Structure 1
Amino acid sequence: MKEILQKSWPADIAKTLEYRLGEKSLHEYLKENARRTPEKVAYSFYGKELTWEEMDEDVDRFAAFLAGKGVEKGDCVGLYLQNCPQYIIAHYAIQRLGGIVVPLNPMYKEAELVYLLNEAKLKGVVSGQELYGQLHAAAKKTPSVEFVVTTNYADYLPCQATLPLPEELKMEKVLIAEAVDFIEAIKTNEPFSGKVDIDLKNDIGLMVFTSGTTGRPKAAMLPYISALFKTAATVQANQVQEYDRSLAVAPLCHIAGMVMGVNTPVYSGCTSVLLTRFDPGAAIEAIEKYQVTVWYSVAPMNVAILHTPGIEKRNLTSLRRNMATSFGIPVTEQLAQQWKSLTNGCLMYEAAYGLSETHTCDTFMPADKIKWGSCGIPTFETEVKILEMESGELLPYNEKGEIVLKNPGVFKGYLNRPDATAETLRDGWVHTGDIGSIDEDGYLFFHGRLKEMIKCSGYSVFPEDVEALLNVHPAILQSAAIGVPDPVRGESVKAFVVLKPDQKGKVTEAEIIEWAKEKMAAYKYPRVIEFIDQLPATSSGKVLRRLLKEK
């Protein structure tokens, strides 16, 4: 494989990974940015410009607050927020204390939060004020939670916004008696002056909930080196420079959004234009006004912009690179050509293959040797193999099998799940449960998923999680969830439901969908319900979702 990659590796990118400021935690990179370029804008939030010096001071002040609440090395603190500067400040403040960041998707509802908060035994949570109702109800069932911080996103807005504001940034500020206000925590604490020693390769800095191979969400434990290594590799492979201006619209709670929005600006020292969420109009204005040069998107975002009325009159020519992911809509040569024409030359290509257990970005696309339909070639210090699914034997080029990989960014295992860890992580190799192949040039092609995880609009949905939540419904005896093709979302959830005998004829499929919509995140709730008399199962009672898919 190494010999094969020699001919595919870009000529203008060094084959050895070179850390810009040395091998140290990213929160130390942030502090070094503040020392070297204190007045440079780090993040621009709808016109509010935060310099590296200001970011560093707010991180230190919030770290001091957390320390006052008893947060120590190894403690877990959750982030239940939309994209905002507060997310980034809290992320690095937690890690300055040697703590563990636990992202919580703001789409989560109470029942989902109860499970996740208890699983990770969170000591505290930083929440958007509009999400507090869900969190408050869940925290009452979570003994480990000792404090909650709430924030109004508008606290970090300028007096006059320069971009269209989404509704969540127009909310009136509400102070919650049971919680601490984020801004007050910043204002009333002197900057943290201590230093916590971090073992990059062994200390856990991030826990991301994922399915692993089966079961309800598990907390994948990622050491501090994972974020540093993968961010450095992504920046070097895609040639992101200190003078670049990036656009961050992907959810920061998602591992890909974290790499591009939380980590890449800190590692590279570039300026990031941060939006709470994607809106075509706001994204177009941001690119124009701030002369954005680098963007990570998902393909539907590009399509939405291309179909915006009057887009041919807008000026997006500052863009030079657009790493994109195929979610729902594939990144094709035709789409890339349309984007190149609109932007007068911006390169658009598939961003990478990766998963939460590896801090994503295990491959990259050589910009001078794009191979459409592939995920690119293995990134720095990364080995990828394709194994036969039954025997585990190494397969030749172009043969489909399970993708397994190894690099310095892989996780340490699943929290409190030794069996699941042993199944996925073997001698340093991550057995992904994904089906792929490698061609003669070393390019990885993704063909599907061995595990039964469902991918909806880029989010991972675990069948057991949907089923556990559905089974709370008083009319449901059993349920089984599968993914079905969706032309826009990639996949949607379909649930087969066995009703309790006395409930048959008393509840409709539509009523269950509406009930689920209230109980689950928007990307997760079933779009289709089918009543069934009995679920197919093995003699031990394990539901055979494969047979439901075939049905």
Structure 2
Amino acid sequence: MENCRHKCWPQDLSPELSYRQGQKPLHEYLRDNANLNPEKVAIIWYGRKITYRELNDLSERFAAFLTISGVKKGDHVALFLTNSPQYFIAHYGIQKIGAIVGPCSPLFKEWELEYQLNDMEAKVIVAADGLYDIVMKIQPKTQIDIVILTNYGDLLPAKPTFNVPAEICHPKLIIPPGVHDMMTVINDQEISVPFVNLNMKDVSLLIYTSGTTGQPKGAMLSYENALFKTAAVAQNSKIWVEDVLLTVVPLYHIAGMLLGLNCPIYSNASMVLLYRFDPVAVLQAIERYKCTWWYSVVPMNLAIMQVPNAGQYDISSLRTTRATSFGIILTQEIAEAWAKFTGGCEIFEAAYGLSETHTADTFMPSTSVKWGTQGIPNYETVIRIIDPETGKEMPFGEMGEIVLTNPGVFQGYWKKLEATNQTLREGWVYTGDMGWLDEDGYLTFSGRFKEMIKVSGYSVFPEEVEAMLIRHEAIGQVAVTGVPDAQKGEVVKAYVVLKSELGTHITAQEIIDWAKQKMTSYKSPRYVEFRESLPATGAGKVLRRLL
């Protein structure tokens, strides 16, 4: 594996990983940036410019408030909010005192939030005030005794410079008795963070994932894990101090956290931060602030190219887009269309990775892109493909379970020893994902082992079928699942979102007949169901289990 990695390693990229300011927690990078470049803009929030000094001071004050409130090293603090400067303030403020960040999806309803808060044993929650109704209803059923609310509009400028989503312009909630307002406690607090003896191997993040099986579990990630992956991605993706990054993907998601929160701070870069994806706002932001680097998901890129009069925006400053194929697969055709639309910006697959490794275990070399693959192993990463039943390593080109190791590997699942032992073995993560390596070391991800469909004894991976179906000119999005069949055990069912301009007269049978001509019979769908949209996470990942 190592020989393959070096054979295709980009010549313009050092084979050794280096750290900009040494091996220390990322919040120390924030402090250093504030000391060395205090007036440099860290975040642009709809026109509101927050410098590194201000961002660091705000996080220091928040850390000090947590300390006087009794929060100590090792305590879990839940974050129930999405993209905003307050997310940065809370995330780094929590970690500065050795407490552990526990992101909760702001899409959660009562039962989901209650489960996660109880599982992580959180006593503190930082939430958007628009989500307080949910927090209030479940708080008596949890250990939460400190509630801190924030309004997304608190740091908005008086005159925004591009489109602000209406939902973050609602009036500020009148803070109930016993509840704290985040900006009030920050502004009332002295910058006085007590010294906390931290070790790079201390857990700093509890990110919840379904893992390979069962209920969501908290993957314990350390300061070292976060720094390693951040440095590796910043180096192989060439994120420099002069860059202006566009941050759109949700920060509570591990990929958004890595590329939207950690990488800009590590690189001492600037970022334009959006609450959520809006194609017109993206165009406005890139044009006004000359964004150079963007992490997206493919449907975002397609949506932007379909904006009426999109050509009136000058987005030629954009030089790099790293994208993840969620729902729609990134193809060479899409990449060529994106390059033409932007005036030369290159786009290719971002990475393969999982929460248990702080993601980004591979990367795509910009000088030797292989479409349909997830790239080559990242720095200090070894990937093997094994037979999931025998554990035997598979030859190049043959499918098996992906197992990997690197310094980003988690310490285990919080209070889930059995699940930890199943997934983490002697430093190797047994991912439950299926895929193969080619002779150049490029990884192709085929799908989750548990989502595999068994048709007459043959293994069918949803992603493989989806990759073929999406080539139909009328299909805009597609997801594939297995459905029971009396004779074959299971057969394939496709859920299809048609392109509005092409799909008016297409029938399910026509797609089934087309598929039979294009793929092996047992892989072709027996059923096709048309949908207006597909269920997805906040980050855009299609949720097959809901289909």
Is the TM-score greater than 0.5? yes
Q: Which amino acid is 2:96 matched to?
A: R
Q: Which amino acid is 1:196 matched to?
A: V
Q: Distance in 1 between matches of 2:376 and 2:251?
A: 25
For the 8 Å contact 2:46–2:273, the answer to whether it is kept is: yes
TM-score of the superposed pair, with normalisation by structure 1: 0.83
Correspondence for 2:512: none
Equivalent pairs counted in the alignment come to 473
Q: Which amino acid is 2:118 matched to?
A: N
For the 8 Å contact 1:436–1:448, the answer to whether it is kept is: yes
Q: 1:483 to 1:257 in 2, by over 3 A?
A: farther
Q: 1:372 to 1:523 in 2, by over 3 A?
A: closer
Q: Distance in 1 between matches of 2:320 and 2:543?
A: 32
Correspondence for 1:308: 307
Q: Which amino acid is 1:146 matched to?
A: D
For residues 144-170 of structure 1, give each alpha carbon's deviation from its aligned partner in whole angstroms, at most 9, with x where no partner exists: 212010011111111111111102221
For residues 261-302 of structure 1, give each alpha carbon's deviation from its aligned partner in whole angstroms, at most 9, with x where no partner exists: 110111001001000000001011001110000000000000
Correspondence for 1:259: 258
Correspondence for 2:49: 49
For residues 436-462 of structure 1, give each alpha carbon's deviation from its aligned partner in whole angstroms, at most 9, with x where no partner exists: 100011100001111349999xxxxxx
Q: Distance in 1 between matches of 2:242 and 2:443?
A: 31
Q: Distance in 2 between matches of 1:302 and 1:484?
A: 27
Q: Which amino acid is 1:305 matched to?
A: I
Whether 1:95 and 2:95 are equivalent positions in the alignment is yes
- What is the aligned-residue identity percentage? 48
Q: Distance in 2 between matches of 1:527 and 1:422?
A: 28
Q: Distance in 2 between matches of 1:311 and 1:167?
A: 22
Correspondence for 2:327: 328
For the 8 Å contact 2:97–2:193, the answer to whether it is kept is: no
Whether 1:434 and 2:433 are equivalent positions in the alignment is yes
Q: 1:488 to 1:199 in 2, by over 3 A?
A: farther
Q: Distance in 2 between matches of 1:246 and 1:486?
A: 34
Correspondence for 1:499: none
Q: Distance in 1 between matches of 2:195 and 2:85?
A: 23
For residues 81-127 of structure 1, give each alpha carbon's deviation from its aligned partner in whole angstroms, at most 9, with x where no partner exists: 02100011000000000010000000000111111110000020000
Correspondence for 2:272: 273
Q: CA deviation at 1:343?
A: 1.1
TM-score of the superposed pair, with normalisation by structure 2: 0.84
For the 8 Å contact 1:214–1:452, the answer to whether it is kept is: no
Q: Which amino acid is 1:172 matched to?
A: P
Q: Distance in 1 between matches of 2:126 and 2:81?
A: 7
Q: Distance in 2 between matches of 1:261 and 1:445?
A: 25
Q: Which amino acid is 1:95 matched to?
A: Q
Q: CA deviation at 1:488?
A: 5.6
Q: CA deviation at 1:211?
A: 1.2
Secondary structure at the aligned position of 2:383 is classed as strand
Correspondence for 1:232: 231
Q: Distance in 2 between matches of 1:523 and 1:175?
A: 37
Q: Which amino acid is 2:51 matched to?
A: T
Q: 1:488 to 1:270 in 2, by over 3 A?
A: farther
Correspondence for 1:543: none
Correspondence for 1:108: 108
Whether 1:77 and 2:77 are equivalent positions in the alignment is yes
Q: Distance in 2 between matches of 1:525 and 1:15?
A: 38
Correspondence for 2:375: 376
Residue ranges of structure 1 left out of the alignment (5+ in a row): 457-462, 464-481, 490-515, 529-551
For residues 415-439 of structure 1, give each alpha carbon's deviation from its aligned partner in whole angstroms, at most 9, with x where no partner exists: 1111100000000000000001000
Q: How does 1:388-427 map to 2 (within 5 A)?
A: 388-427=387-426
Correspondence for 2:446: 447
Q: CA deviation at 1:175?
A: 2.3
Correspondence for 2:195: 195
Q: CA deviation at 1:7?
A: 2.1
Correspondence for 2:247: 248
Q: Distance in 1 between matches of 2:22 and 2:544?
A: 44
Q: Distance in 1 between matches of 2:105 and 2:428?
A: 28
Q: Distance in 2 between matches of 1:306 and 1:291?
A: 18
Correspondence for 2:359: 360
Q: CA deviation at 1:485?
A: 4.6
Q: Distance in 2 between matches of 1:267 and 1:391?
A: 42
Q: CA deviation at 1:312?
A: 2.4
Q: Distance in 2 between matches of 1:522 and 1:19?
A: 31
Q: How does 1:487-526 map to 2 (within 5 A)?
A: 487=496
Q: CA deviation at 1:484?
A: 6.5
Q: 1:359 to 1:388 in 2, by over 3 A?
A: same
Aligned alpha-carbon RMSD (Å): 2.3
Correspondence for 1:286: 285
Q: 1:89 to 1:487 in 2, by over 3 A?
A: farther
Q: CA deviation at 1:314?
A: 2.0
Correspondence for 2:64: 64
Q: Distance in 1 between matches of 2:492 and 2:60?
A: 44
Q: Which amino acid is 2:313 matched to?
A: R
For residues 12-35 of structure 1, give each alpha carbon's deviation from its aligned partner in whole angstroms, at most 9, with x where no partner exists: 111110000100000000000001
Q: CA deviation at 1:68?
A: 1.2
Q: CA deviation at 1:526?
A: 7.7
Correspondence for 1:123: 123
Q: 1:19 to 1:45 in 2, by over 3 A?
A: same
Q: 1:59 to 1:170 in 2, by over 3 A?
A: same
Q: 1:487 to 1:237 in 2, by over 3 A?
A: farther
Q: 1:4 to 1:248 in 2, by over 3 A?
A: same
For the 8 Å contact 1:96–1:195, the answer to whether it is kept is: no
For the 8 Å contact 1:328–1:488, the answer to whether it is kept is: no
Q: Distance in 1 between matches of 2:361 and 2:335?
A: 22
For the 8 Å contact 1:329–1:488, the answer to whether it is kept is: no
187-196 or 276-285, larger mean C-alpha shift: 187-196
Correspondence for 1:17: 17
For the 8 Å contact 1:328–1:486, the answer to whether it is kept is: no
Q: Distance in 2 between matches of 1:90 and 1:233?
A: 24
Secondary structure at the aligned position of 2:12 is classed as coil
